[in-house]
Structure 1
């Protein structure tokens, strides 16, 4: 059987217009060609779909039944084409966005809201990660893109830098350094620090291991989340090296946040796997680039080690 979708469309139009002349005008197709295509459809199906009259056509019993199915077939095809085009253009599909709470609160809501408004057909899942996975799911492929802080220690990623911010030391209010306006990295090297689990570049950065000449840091406690890190610091178990945004978003009366005069800056970034070819991801990164073009002032969002 040789039947194509064009014949379905022609038949539907003739049935709706009840007249070959009006249908040919609506379709912008020559009437003889239209008539031949409908006749060919009837021959292929072995059915009489239309009853011809001098002034038009009416549907046969079989034609009335076939019309509903023909419309459903055309609508399904058109829907599939639309979906494919949207997916190919990065305007539909699925995206899993990971985030570290220490990196996402400032930029993630803005980017996610803007992306949802521009591309409502994309199904976005958002997943939170703690310091046990500082790549926020990118290392094992459980996320497509993530808001995180550098250095995360995962290989094969690309980044869009969103902001930089200074480091501060969060400590119990009774600590001997709590009343200082600022401290130096050297002031902190012999102090117990709150560390993230495991090792690698992330822990090295927040523990200032590049300033220790090979000596081990004093670990007062380990914490896998920012909230537990602050709890340990407030309990006097050690100092949390965090960022200045924490001063605003995580203020608490049992903690002092002291500037570190000579510490490196922390970098907030959007990251994704370098081998990704997803058009949806490209759209998401583009939205994030717009946000990064108008960065929020330092000190107006959360951040943590």
Structure 2
């Protein structure tokens, strides 16, 4: 069995300097070493490798074929060691590993790619695993512990989850084209409560109450819920006349559906899109993701204004 060659990284760095400068005096100055000492280090390296790496004359220094081959490996080895050290430093600060990012349909809308791109640029050692959760899981995996951080919609009644609002997304009523309110410029929430309304079958009562217009109801107009599993299923049910829905203006502008119309609700607030995480468990990775999300939000003011001002009438 051949014994492994033990070469310290300092010698590799010396060799790379000489190979790039092709001049011992310049290389010695670059690595802060006397020329004679540098020459001795290169000679020791050649003995360890078992091949002549440099041709030296009084006039010039050139790489031998063996030296050219070794230079590529030396650069790769030094780069790998530097990356390993950087990874270790990131891990020491909690900035390496995997971040499990959950999101409800739509995530952070147009801000999503900006946030993910900037986070990737700031923290290349972190793998972001994204997972979309169905409409019945308003916590996007936080409640079950399946995710570390998530793009969610407020209001939220699930305990032990902290949130930071990114922006407020206007909402509208989606009704069948044959609905008696079609043609109105706007309607009140109270005018919608007589109809069956879609529901994602969530256990989060605060979330369900918002999307089912509970604050506008009384005992005579208790919600008749029509369960749904997705946004597209919701639109199909509304088109078929089985229910109405309260939904994001994004649906109106980016997912038009034959057989439905959208109405402005003049007395109902928008839905805040937020970043959520487990209370008292803000890891360094989660803290950095939150920092990136907020910095992108504060930088992209024009985009945020456009999203928050999206028209609520067609």
TM-score tier (shorter): 0.7 to 0.9
Query: 1:161 — aligned with what?
Result: 165
Query: 1:283 — aligned with what?
Result: 292
Query: 1:182 — aligned with what?
Result: 186
Query: 2:255 — aligned with what?
Result: 250
Displacement of 1:240 after TM fit?
0.7
- Distance across 2 between alignment mates of 1:163 and 1:16: 52
Displacement of 1:131 after TM fit?
0.7
2:234 to 214, 229, 236: 229
- Distance across 2 between alignment mates of 1:147 and 1:77: 36
TM-score for the superposition, normalised by structure 1:
0.72
Aligned residue pair count = 300
Secondary structure at 2:136 match in 1: coil
Measured against aligned partners, the alpha-carbon deviations of 1:31-75 in whole angstroms (never above 9, x if no partner) come to 3554666688789x6989789989599999999997776554323
Secondary structure at 1:230 match in 2: helix
Secondary structure at 1:106 match in 2: helix
Q: Is the 8 A contact 2:137 2:202 kept in 1?
A: no
Residue 148 (structure 1) aligned with residue 147 (structure 2): no
- Distance across 1 between alignment mates of 2:49 and 2:106: 68
Extract unaligned runs of 5+ from structure 2. Answer: none
- Distance across 2 between alignment mates of 1:140 and 1:97: 13
Measured against aligned partners, the alpha-carbon deviations of 1:213-243 in whole angstroms (never above 9, x if no partner) come to 6788332410121111121122122221223
Aligned Cα root-mean-square deviation (Å): 4.4
Query: 1:10 — aligned with what?
Result: 14
Query: 1:130 — aligned with what?
Result: 134
- Distance across 1 between alignment mates of 2:73 and 2:135: 55
- Distance across 2 between alignment mates of 1:145 and 1:66: 46
- Distance across 2 between alignment mates of 1:143 and 1:301: 33
Structure 1 residues 17 and 145: CA distance shift in structure 2, 3 A? same
Taking the TM superposition and a 5 Å limit, the aligned residue runs for 1:46-65 are none
Extract unaligned runs of 5+ from structure 1. Answer: none
Structure 1 residues 268 and 16: CA distance shift in structure 2, 3 A? closer
Query: 1:203 — aligned with what?
Result: 208
Secondary structure at 1:256 match in 2: strand
Larger mean CA deviation between 33-42 and 231-240 belongs to 33-42
Q: Is the 8 A contact 2:235 2:257 kept in 1?
A: no
Q: Is the 8 A contact 1:246 1:301 kept in 2?
A: no
Q: Is the 8 A contact 1:244 1:299 kept in 2?
A: no
TM-score for the superposition, normalised by structure 2:
0.71
- Distance across 1 between alignment mates of 2:309 and 2:73: 61
